[in-house]
Chains A and B, each alone.
Chain A
Amino acid sequence: MIPEKSKITQGQLMFFIIQSQVGVGILTLPHKLQESAKGAGWISVLIAGLAVQVIIVILWALCRRFPSDTIYGFLPKITGKFLGNLLCFLYIGYFLFSAGTVLAKFADVVGRWVLLATPRWALLILALLTCMYLAKENLRVIARLFVISSLTIIVMVALSLCGYVNANFSYIFPITEAGWGNIIKSANEALFPLVGYEAILVLYPFVEGKSGGKLKAASLGNMMITLFYTFEVFTSLVIFSPAVMPAVSEPLLYMLKGFSFQIIQRIDLIFLSLWVFVVSNAMVSWIYMATVGLGRFFHRGEHKKAVPYTICILFILAMIAQEPSVTDFYDQAIKVSHYTFVVGLPLILLCFAYFMRKRGT
């Protein structure tokens, strides 16, 4: 059923989850959290991480009942053919939409910080061609690349550590200034940069090993990313005073901009260049999830034929998103669809499957 070629190990699953989760959201996260949670933004991230962990357990429980099917396989089994296929298409749409949002945000950030005059379509074509080159391959190759790209996260942590020279820890006090209510509400805001763990819905059958190990791998990946985000948010909070944060949309980049080593200056350019690796990987992950579904319906199981169509759709999605109103709409749509498709629906499906005692082979 699943060819041996496409199997990945649990370690590779962990890195896949890591790379799916880290996207563009981390750059603006401290700014958004500061608005609502003030000095306790980093606590919100931890709470969001815990929430994600719970959701991962729900998804894992659902996938565990159908160990050799992706979500596109077992969805019709639970809800019947017509509704199942409809929901599958909705899932494909959600994945594509997420990919488009990531791409649009990436083009935004690069267009504001580095390539100010380059037309958007040029940058999009460049990014999409590279992603297409990778998304065509089978899962094993993609997972291999993800493992290596995770090195860039270590480099980013190292670069962020440089900022502690100017840290002023009194900026985060008093910690509960915003009140616990707000802190928990901001966890909702912090959830969205952590999105990406739903890859487990599509990857579950491809991973070798027992189901317990898969849960461990996914949880470990989520935990590492949550810690990474917490660290970054904390760093930004102690370096920029609360009065300045509303003005600075990407605090990490801003902090690195003022730095200089002996040989190079403008470290934020280096950071952004490394960032490209991470963002492309996130996009490839979403594209892969969508094309597995498309391949199943249209191309007899080969996901690589669906990739060029996906690329065109993403190009259009990202080109539309140039006005702030459209970007806001995208954000809202992602929020709503995330809760429906990744939290709500699997929970309902799990209950259905449990009560109707549907199990896969």
Chain B
Amino acid sequence: MKRICFLCVMMSLLLFIAGCWDQDLLKDARLIYGGGYDPAPNGKLRVTFVIRDVPSGEQQSPKNDIITTEGDTPRDARDHADDQVSRHIRTYKNRFILIGEELAKQDIYPVLEVFYRDPKSSLNARIGVAQGTAEDILSLKKVGNVLIAEEIDELIKSKEETTTVPKVTLEKIYPVMLDPGEDFVLPYLMEQGARVNVSRIAMFHNNKFTGTLSSEESTMYLLLKGRKGKVTRFTQNMSTKGEMSTTEENPQIRYDFLTFNVDKLKQKMKVKVQSGDQITVHLKLKMKVSVIEYPKDRLEKKQVVAELNKDLSKKMTDLAQKTLDHMQKARCDGLGIGRQLMAFHPRVWKKQKEEWGSNYQKVHFAPVVQVEITKQGIIN
């Protein structure tokens, strides 16, 4: 008995020596750091890969290698790229995906589907929409002293912290993509001079790109959704009509501007359905802010602070309304109104879900923003 066991074990050991089947050696891999997708004629895709190489030899800085190929689908294009690249291309360290504007206007789910199916893919890669073509942005190769791939990745990361762009990764938008009750938004990258600028949000409806929000509106949208980053700054012109601070000696109008940072945010959203299936959304934002820049000073006077609060509240409410109008025009249900209907008013949703795009435009938004200045820095 023991002999048989021993023989079995021996045989299996010998068989195992035959191979390590799943081995995926790190040194045989060329790692892709980012990818850009653009449309090509004949319905094909034009894909740009950025490969990050760390050349051997002591203390040499990494380099980026940029390859562009065409293919029917993303995976097809990647296989074509593999034809031109030594060793194996591996995408498990992919950091971002840039989708060109034109391609984003078509449904982006088929482009991203391969990332969801492959067990080795990197699901915490960031996505963005590029103004123009992704290839152009990626062909910059270097921005200042930083390689393009790192620049984009770290730029988006830092903008997430300043509440300018949403924190989206492939994983986070997957449930939203297939959900008819909510739309996602992505960061919008622009090329300015020889640098990349990330300050706006691209809006989507039914996985198609439908418009952008300006920088201020982007921040306001994120606040409306309750997603405040570490830092949230607004700069507003506080001058009232007729009263200008420019004088002969001081022709600047900078005296009128106030920059503040939102410290604490309380957000409430209520979806109410009135008779006739009129949907009203009440949004309440309570912000506690600290003043960062206000040359007019005199903040120790309570009256001044109260007035500023009132002004700021009005200005922020207007901004919120503008943002929501913009979103409605682009049919982007970024706040998930549809999901709220699905959960709490299923009958209304059943009636409205067919034409949710146009029904969404009929929703009435009533935002109310309350600003309260609590801190002022170290001077008054």
Contact A244 B174 (CB under 8 A): yes
Contact A117 B21 (CB under 8 A): yes
List chain B residues, Cβ under 8 A from A308: 1, 4-5
A113 to B117, CA, bound (A): 10
List chain B residues, Cβ under 8 A from A240: 175
Which of A114, A177, A243 meets B180, CB within 8 Å? A243
Separation in Å of the B9 CB from the closest CB of chain A?
Answer: 7
The 3 closest A-B pairs by CB, nearest first: A258-B171, A173-B343, A243-B178
Q: Is the interface of B mostly helix, strand, loop or mixed?
A: helix
List chain A residues, Cβ under 8 A from B342: 170, 173-174
Question: Quick check: is B276 within 8 A (CB to CB) of the other chain?
Answer: no
Contact B21 A258 (CB under 8 A): no
Of the 9-residue stretches A7-15, A118-126, A341-349, which lies at the interface with chain B?
A: A118-126
List chain A residues, Cβ under 8 A from B174: 244
Residue interface mask B145-172, A partner, CB < 8 A = 1: 0000000000000000000000001111
List chain A residues, Cβ under 8 A from B179: 241-244
List chain B residues, Cβ under 8 A from A173: 342-344
On A, residues with C-beta under 8 Å from B are 112-119, 122, 125, 129, 166, 168, 170-171, 173-174, 177, 239-244, 247, 255, 257-260, 265, 305, 308
List chain A residues, Cβ under 8 A from B22: 114-118
List chain A residues, Cβ under 8 A from B68: none
Question: Quick check: is B110 within 8 A (CB to CB) of the other chain?
Answer: no
Contact B21 A129 (CB under 8 A): no
A113 to B124, CA, bound (A): 17
Q: A125-B12, A260-B124 are in contact. Are A174 and B344 (CB under 8 A)?
A: yes
List chain B residues, Cβ under 8 A from A177: 346
Q: List 27 A–B pairs whose Cβ atoms lie within 8 Å, in order of A's numbering.
A: A112-B119, A115-B22, A117-B21, A118-B22, A122-B15, A122-B16, A129-B9, A168-B339, A170-B336, A170-B339, A170-B340, A170-B342, A171-B343, A173-B342, A173-B343, A240-B175, A241-B175, A241-B176, A242-B179, A244-B178, A247-B116, A257-B119, A258-B123, A258-B124, A258-B170, A259-B124, A305-B1
Separation in Å of the A136 CB from the closest CB of chain B?
Answer: 10
A213 to B4, CA, bound (A): 43
Q: A112-B119, A173-B344, A243-B180 are in contact. Are A258 and B169 (CB under 8 A)?
A: yes
A305 to B119, CA, bound (A): 41
A259 to B124, CA, bound (A): 7
A sample of 9 more A-B contacts (CB under 8 A), given A168-B175, A171-B339, A260-B124, is: A114-B22, A116-B22, A116-B119, A241-B175, A247-B178, A257-B123, A258-B170, A258-B172, A265-B124
Separation in Å of the B96 CB from the closest CB of chain A?
Answer: 14
A308 to B171, CA, bound (A): 45
Separation in Å of the B145 CB from the closest CB of chain A?
Answer: 26
Contact B21 A118 (CB under 8 A): yes
List chain A residues, Cβ under 8 A from B336: 170
